[in-house]
Amino acid sequence: MNRLNKKIIYLDNAATTPIDKKVAKKMYFYLKNYFGNPASTHYLGLKVNQDIIKSRKTIIKILGGTDPNNIIFTSTASESNNLAIKGIIYNYQCKKHIITCVSEHKSILETCFFLEKKKLCDITYLKINKYGLIDLTILENSIKNETILVSIMHINNEIGVIQNIKKIGKICKKHNILFHVDATQSIGKFYINVLDMNIDLMSFSAHKFYGPKGIGILYTKFNNLIPLIHGGAQENNIRSGTLATHQIIGLTEALHLSYMNYQKNLLKITKFKQILWNGIKNIKDIYINGDFKNSTPYIINIRFNNIFNKLLLTEMQNIAVSISSACTSNNYQDSHVLQALGLTTKEIQSSIRISFGKFNTIHDINNTIITIHKAIKKLKII
């Protein structure tokens, strides 16, 4: 039977989420009826421009900010991360030192590697402990006179560990340093107040909370970012290009729906993660990569020692999970996050990531438990 005809249990929500039908419906309405360029001065242009202004106000309110002009629309969170870091470094002629972490998303790390290679700044890469956490004392001791930016993600996309960004924000404010947060796995699932947490720049994208792909956001209080894309001076001359109204409307609707049902979804997913773990934790040689307690309920990274993860996935064909970040899986490289935890290549290649979403059911979780047990039993016999 063609795999596409099978019922797939989707547990790869950290990679992307299915679009909410309400979001898709609203986007289609705008695609069909309000297709004008927001920069145009006729009715259709003025109409969509006003709707985009309303979207900015809605988004900034949810984030706990006050100025809608702090919202910059991008194509992805990866673009937002690039714009945040490069945009700041390109603006400074001196005093160029960044502090980040070895387990950051590749769009942060590769940007830092690029800037180092071009000799545009120095980077300090903080190590993590066996649970995936950075040491905040080491972070503060790493600050130099030249330090202009600290970039630390809130929730790790592979192991789900949660960094204490509120304390990091206080450290940055104390030393008058800009603080950037990659909140891609947080927004839509947890509340982040950018003012209370002293966050100066923050990146995220809609497709992680049941919105469309191809639309991201950079929240920035720093108005002197050097743009990556030059052109028509959209987005306060920080990011040129015609704004995609339907994408912006879709992002805003998805964000609104996510927080409208925030508590309900959080309680459900927390329950699902615990049920899954309780159902498989007695399997011999099974381990959690990271920290079960100090992590998001939406992600669990599990290691089955001596079971090759690709073979395991072959035995779980009706269940969509991943063996690494979707952003790097095509390169078939060992996870840099799991390497940073101290895992061996063999242990990394025995690990899978399961990530839950609001459309999952208890039936999905129970079926996954049964499937994992059957797969492990078969592979151990082989």
Q: How far apart are CA 60 and CA 78, in angstroms?
A: 20
In whole angstroms, what separates CA 219 from the centre of its chain? 14
Spatial separation of the C-alpha atoms in residues 142 and 155, rounded to whole Å: 22
Pairing of strands 351-355, 299-304: antiparallel
Spell 321-358 as b/e; 16+ CB within 10 A means b. bbbbbebbeeeeebbbbbbbbebeeebbbbbbbbbbbb
User: Residue 295 in 3-state DSSP?
Assistant: strand
Where do runs of H (alpha helix) occur along the chain? 21-33, 43-63, 77-89, 106-117, 136-141, 165-174, 234-237, 245-260, 262-280, 309-314, 336-340, 345-348, 362-381
Looking at the DSSP bridge assignments, the partners of residue 124 are 99
Alpha-carbon span 229 to 239, nearest angstrom: 6
d(CA 165, CA 346): 32
Residue 35: phi and psi, rounded to 5, are: -100, 5
What DSSP character marks residue 207? Answer: G
Check if 172 is active-site. no
Q: Which residues pair with 295 in a beta bridge?
A: 161
Selected catalytic residue, list 94, 101, 172, 327: 327
Say how many C-beta atoms besides its own lie within 10 A of residue 237's C-beta.
13
| Calpha distance 189→217 (Å, rounded) | 16
Show which residues are catalytic.
327
